[in-house]
């Protein structure tokens, strides 16, 4: 379901962003650049809500307050995305301020910092989801770090995917790499939380059986 939410949310958010940008006159966007930021924010909110609603549809069998999960996931995703984007842009600005061609070591260093920022931003999503889970399950503290683990796996697999780019025809390379990265992201964001939920369910059953 998370895979479906990622795909549907992505398509819907891109469609809304394009529609709004086409609706607004180019002159208005040039005079008030903030409108472009508002459009992107609306697009991100739509994606987050669809992505969260998709998960909530599955979890409503286990969580009575499924709407809280939807709210926590939406807000957590937006917070995580905004925090990681802000840090990555800040790190990029530092790299650009050096006014030199970056060496291989510099690329690895700044790239590593950006990846770490992306991975750690997942704690925002994990924390807000944990606030919902702790009301129904015991021993769920590790969920705070589960999205970060998912982000780490995404970073590793996307990095490994980059080694295959020379095997892809140059004409369609960018598109194939983008779609492959999106597919890997959706799969990882679906599989790892699903495994986490299964573990929580098994643990909760054991606690109930002991009582």
pLDDT along the chain (211 residues), means of 10: 72 80 66 68 88 85 83 94 93 87 86 94 95 83 94 93 83 85 88 88 68 57
Residue with tokens 């129904």: 136
- Which one-letter DSSP state was computed for residue 64? T
The pLDDT assigned to 155 comes to 94
Nearest Cα to Cα of residue 144 among 117, 120, 115, 118? 120
Which alpha helices (H) appear in 60-172, and where do they start and end? 66-97, 104-120, 122-133, 146-162
Q: If you compute the radius of gyration of the chain from its CA atoms, what whole number of angstroms results? A: 20
pTM comes to 0.86
Q: Tell me the HSE value of 152 on the side-chain side, using a 13 A CA sphere.
A: 9
Tens of pLDDT, residue by residue over 12-54, are 888 887 877 777 666 655 666 666 677 788 888 888 898 888 8
The pLDDT assigned to 32 comes to 64
The pLDDT assigned to 99 comes to 79
SS3 8: helix
CA distances from 147 to 127, 163, 189, 190, 194 (A): 9, 25, 8, 11, 12
């Amino acid at each position: 379901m998370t895979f479906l939410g990622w795909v549907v949310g992505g398509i819907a958010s891109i469609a809304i962003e394009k529609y709004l940008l086409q609706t607004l006159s180019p002159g208005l966007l040039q005079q008030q650049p903030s409108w472009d930021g508002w459009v992107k924010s609306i697009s991100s909110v739509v994606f987050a809500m669809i992505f969260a609603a998709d998960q909530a549809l599955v979890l409503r069998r286990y969580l009575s307050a499924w709407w809280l999960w939807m709210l926590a996931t939406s807000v957590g995703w937006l917070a995580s995305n905004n925090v990681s984007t802000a840090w990555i842009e800040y790190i990029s600005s530092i790299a650009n301020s050096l006014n030199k061609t970056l060496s291989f070591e510099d690329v690895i260093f700044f790239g590593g910092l950006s990846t770490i920022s992306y991975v750690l931003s997942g704690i925002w999503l994990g924390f807000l989801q944990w606030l919902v889970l702790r009301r129904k399950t015991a021993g769920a503290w590790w969920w705070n770090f589960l999205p970060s683990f998912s982000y780490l796996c995404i970073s590793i697999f996307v990095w490994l995917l980059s080694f295959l780019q020379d095997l892809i025809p140059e004409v369609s390379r960018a598109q194939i790499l983008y779609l492959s990265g999106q597919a890997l992201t959706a799969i990882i964001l679906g599989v790892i939380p699903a495994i986490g939920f299964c573990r929580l369910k098994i643990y909760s059953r054991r606690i109930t059986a002991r009582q």
